[in-house]
Amino acid sequence: MDSIIVTGNGPLSGQIPIAGAKNACLTLMPATLLSDEPLTLTNAPRLSDIRTMTTLLQSLGAEVQALQDGQVLALSSHALTSTRADYDIVRKMRASILVLGPLLAREGHAEVSLPGGCAIGARPVDLHLRAMEALGAEMELRDGYVHARTPRGGLQGGVVEFPLVSVGATENALLAAVLAKGPSVLKNAAREPEIVDLVECLRKMGAQISGEGTHEIEVQGVDRLGGATHRVVTDRIELGTYMLAPAVCGGEVECLGGRIHLLEAFCERLDAAGISVEETDAGLKVARKNGRIQAVDVTTEPFPGFPTDLQAQMMALLCTAEGTSVLEEKIFENRFMHAPELMRMGASIDVSGGTARVTGVEKLKGAPVMATDLRASVSLILAGLAAEGETKVSRVYHLDRGYEHVVRKLSGVGAKIERVPAE
């Protein structure tokens, strides 16, 4: 199993290209199941999760080709051969549940294994199932699979009211409602940029949707969808991660493709901590304003609030801030598993339930640490950039699910980082 070795090496300088959004691409790919015409996605990230979704779609009979070094995905579902998403594939990634809505909409039935993914607490799929039921589907959980069908000749338009804001459930409901008979309304819908990106793609395919980016989305079902070409939106989580690199260890880095509107709450917290973020023609230029980072409080919230997927990385920054920061995790429980690893590097962190108190120290020390999930893995790399000596991060297979070429991108701006195979 590979490891990544990071050695604190001073300030960074240069440009980092930001990839297309993993979470957007994983939502866009199942949209191919809604049409028998080709769907082409450009600016696709080159990640193991994308390969897992490719395998899943191919198992259903879809054709998926990775072109231009993987940055273009050519998809076609002109002849589906199965409506069963097997456990052996689905267990690797939670986003696999997003084939449920399209399969029900097009075929009227589906069997989808309950999904897996990062071990960051209970992430139930009940909101997805409720959404399908609101659109007329009958659902049964049996032998670890969701068995779903539409007994009345296809999905019917309806009102889907989410008791909690859920990005994945909103996406699944959209993918189902576009081919349902009649109008649908999604209430308390998620507002994330990935939702807006999905709607833009579905609209290109012929869907009739309004209200994206708000908490109420209206969908008028259509009889069929066509093909389209769509560019995947910039990955705001990769963007925020690399914005933290010069904040952690000094210097100035321009993140190509970045825009403040993707991360306004995050940028506000950076400003309060003493980090300058400047929008340029090409992206976002990030640098410390002066001196030591200041402690700030962070509360994770659905968009447009502070993203839960940047909480671990922000904690790495605050480990060396002046003062005590309080991080409150309101999206997922068990999402402070990186804290003990940061403490191995000398961080002062006290975790109680969904709250972590981080008291900044002058300097972190390099140490062997272990990644527990995708975002935790990159937080340890960021901490290693600021630490004295060598930090060895093991179990980096998590990293491959969400960050392409992390060693190349960081070494390109002066970081001392390498990936080494298992001994």
> Which stretches within 166-213 are classed as H helix?
167-177, 193-204
Q: How far apart are CA 349 and CA 160, in angstroms?
A: 41
- CA 151 and chain centroid, separation: 34
Q: How far apart are CA 97 and CA 374, in angstroms?
A: 19
Q: Is 118 a catalytic residue?
A: yes
Non-local (6+) Cβ contacts of 346 within 8 A are: 361, 363, 364, 365, 367, 387
- Whether 126 has a binding-site annotation, put simply, is yes
- Whether 124 has a binding-site annotation, put simply, is yes
Contact 32, 106 (CB under 8 A): no
- Whether 84 has a binding-site annotation, put simply, is no
- Whether 127 has a binding-site annotation, put simply, is yes
Percent helix / strand / coil, the chain, rounded to 5: 35, 30, 40
- Whether 331 has a binding-site annotation, put simply, is yes
Q: How far apart are CA 32 and CA 319, in angstroms?
A: 44
Half-sphere exposure of residue 344, counting CA atoms within 13 Å on the CB side?
A: 17
Contact 222, 387 (CB under 8 A): no
- Whether 224 has a binding-site annotation, put simply, is no
- Whether 392 has a binding-site annotation, put simply, is no
Phi, psi dihedral angles at 181 (to 5 degrees): -85, 115
Report the chain's C-alpha Rg in angstroms.
Answer: 22
- Whether 67 has a binding-site annotation, put simply, is no
Count of beta carbons in the 10 Å neighbourhood of residue 43: 20
- Whether 290 has a binding-site annotation, put simply, is no
Q: How far apart are CA 390 and CA 210, in angstroms?
A: 51
Contact 110, 59 (CB under 8 A): no
Beta-bridge partner residues of 375:
none
Whole-number Cα distances in Å, 252 to 12, 73, 413, 416: 6, 33, 9, 16
Q: Which of 118, 249, 255, 267 is catalytic?
A: 118
Binding residues: 22-23, 94, 123-127, 309, 331
Active-site residue list: 118
Annotated binding site for UDP-N-acetyl-alpha-D-glucosamine: 94, 123-127, 309, 331
